[in-house]
Amino acid sequence: MRNSVKVAQLDLRTLQIKFPWWALLLATDVVILVLAMLNFDVFAIIVGIVFGAGSSLVMVPFYSNQQRGVDGLLAALPVTRRQVVFGHYLFAVGVQCVIALNLFVVAAIYSFLRPDDLPLSVAAMVALGALTFFLVLVAVPFPFLMRVGYSSATIGIYTGVIVLVVIGLNFLSALGDNFSPSFTFGWVVAGAVALLVGSVPLSLHWYSKREL
Amino acid sequence: MADLLTVKDLTKKYQEFTLGPLSFNVPAGYILGMIGPNGAGKTTTLRLLLDMAAPTAGTVTLNGDTTPTARALARADVGVALDTTGFPESWRVADVDSAMALFLPNWDAARFHELIQLFGVAKKTAYKKLSRGTQAKVNLAAALSHDAKLVILDEPAAGLDPIARDQLMTLLQAYIEDGQHSVILSSHITGDLARIADYVLYIVGGHQLFFGETATLLDRYVLVKGGRGKLTPELKKLGLGLRETAVGFSLMMRTEAARNLPAGLTIEPVDLDALMIYYGKEVQADAQ
| Least Cα separation, residue B46 to chain A (angstroms) | 11
The rounded percent of chain B whose pLDDT value lies above 70 is 97
User: Chain B within 8 Å of A6 (Cβ-Cβ)?
Assistant: yes
Q: Judge if ipTM > 0.85.
A: no
**Domain that includes residue A186, residue range:** 2-209
A64 to chain B, any CB pair closer than 8 A? The answer is: yes
Rounded to an integer, the average pLDDT of A184-204 is: 86
CB burial of residue B187 (10 Å; 0-12, 13-18, 19+): buried
The share of chain A scoring above pLDDT 70, in percent, equals 83
> Crossing angle of helices A120-139/A141-148, nearest 10°?
30
Question: Distance between CA atoms of B262 and B279, rounded to whole angstroms?
Answer: 23
Confirm if B120 and B59 have CB atoms less than 8 A apart. no
Size of interface A-B (CB pairs under 8 A): 84
Listed in sequence order, the residues at least 6 apart from A192 whose beta carbon sits closer than 8 Å to its beta carbon are: A132, A133, A135, A136, A139
Query: What local confidence, expressed as pLDDT, does residue A178 receive?
Result: 62
Q: Residue B288's pLDDT is what?
A: 44
Rounded mean pLDDT of A111-140? 80
Total number of domains constituting chain A: 1
pLDDT score, position B33: 93
Contact (CB<8Å) B127/A211: no
- pLDDT tens profile A52-96: 777 777 777 777 666 666 777 888 889 999 999 999 999 988 888
Subunit contact A10:B99, Cβ cutoff 8 A: yes
Q: Write out chain B's pLDDT in tens, 288 residues.
A: 688 899 999 999 998 899 989 999 999 999 999 988 888 899 999 999 999 999 999 999 988 888 888 888 888 899 999 877 788 888 899 999 999 999 999 999 999 999 999 988 999 998 889 988 889 899 999 999 999 999 999 988 877 888 888 888 899 999 999 989 999 999 877 888 888 889 999 898 899 988 888 888 888 889 999 888 888 888 888 888 888 888 888 888 888 888 888 788 888 888 888 888 777 665 555 444
pTM of this structure: 0.82
Chain B contact for A81 (CB, 8 A cutoff): yes
CA dihedral (A134, A140, A141, A145) positive or negative: positive
Residues A134-159 as b or e (16 or more Cβ within 10 Å = b): bbbbbbbbbbbbbbebbeeebeebbe
Q: Which one of B49, B89, B107, B153 makes the best mutation probe of the A interface by having the most chain A beta carbons within 10 Å? A: B89
Closest by Cβ to A78, choosing from B85, B91, B103 = B103
Cβ within 8 Å, pair A76-B53: no
